[in-house]
Chains A and B, each alone.
Chain A
Amino acid sequence: KQEVTQIPAALSVPEGENLVLNCSFTDSAIYNLQWFRQDPGKGLTSLLLIQSSQREQTSGRLNASLDKSSGRSTLYIAASQPGDSATYLCAVGGGATNKLIFGTGTLLAVQP
């Protein structure tokens, strides 16, 4: 059974700092991995999608990497801003059925 863990559970950084969020999964036979952002009282926003054949994806200040063999993904946020404060979730897809297994989440607070 796939299990997805995120470390740290919570993180507080001053504005402008670069930071890394970690995601690990127990079954390396994944189809893809997605990073989402969740704001309080709102739904999920997809940030980046990495296919199993890819090593990384970039969007603006965000860079996500994937190492299937070690069961790890990282989300790098450059020059953090207070608007980046949210819960970040990683989710692994086990096949073409779109079913995602979600991680435990990292609550990020960027202090002005």
Chain B
Amino acid sequence: SAVISQKPSRDICQRGTSLTIQCQVDSQVTMMFWYRQQPGQSLTLIATANQGSEATYESGFVIDKFPISRPNLTFSTLTVSNMSPEDSSIYLCSVGAGESGANVLTFGAGSRLTVL
């Protein structure tokens, strides 16, 4: 399965600032996803990062708050803009792999953000 590297692994940020999280995959993948895990909660899908086009956002998430880039098939970034303490979460990148009907998601280790 693909190996995913996320940076930063953790950061402490000030209210009102923005932070960009990077996700690098060791092989070309078609589908990349960004998830959020708030403290004590399960994972929620933020958006699907589409290569060469705008990301597809889930209900409750907007591009102005979470701009996403996907310049090629091995890399994506998620920016958390104008952060508030409510944005303190673990942000995880994941990729899909395998033939249709046998798809498995692989996750990065996550980026733990604390907003003061």
Interface set of A (CB-CB < 8 Å, partner B): 31-32, 34, 36, 41-46, 49, 51, 89, 91, 93, 96-105
Residue pair A96, B101 in contact (C-beta under 8 Å):
yes
Q: Is the CB of B18 closer than 8 A to any CB of chain A?
A: no
Q: Given B42, B96, B110, which contacts A43 in the complex, CB threshold below 8 Å?
A: B110
Residue pair B103, A32 in contact (C-beta under 8 Å):
yes
Q: Which range holds the interface residue count of chain B?
A: 20 to 34
Q: Is the CB of B66 closer than 8 A to any CB of chain A?
A: no
Given A32-B103, A46-B104, A98-B96, also A105-B33 (CB < 8 A): no
Q: Considering the complex of A and B, which 6 residue pairs feature the smallest CB-CB distances, nearest first?
A: A98-B96, A43-B109, A44-B107, A102-B43, A102-B42, A43-B107
Chain B contact residues: helix, strand, loop or mixed: strand
- A93 and B104 alpha carbons, distance in the complex (Å): 10
Shortest distance between the CB of B58 and any CB in chain A (Å) = 8
A-B contact pairs, 13 of them (CB 8 A): A32-B103, A34-B104, A43-B92, A43-B109, A46-B106, A46-B107, A49-B102, A96-B101, A96-B103, A98-B96, A99-B33, A99-B48, A102-B43
Given A42-B110, A43-B110, also A89-B48 (CB < 8 A): no
B45 partner residues in chain A, CB cutoff 8 A? 99-101
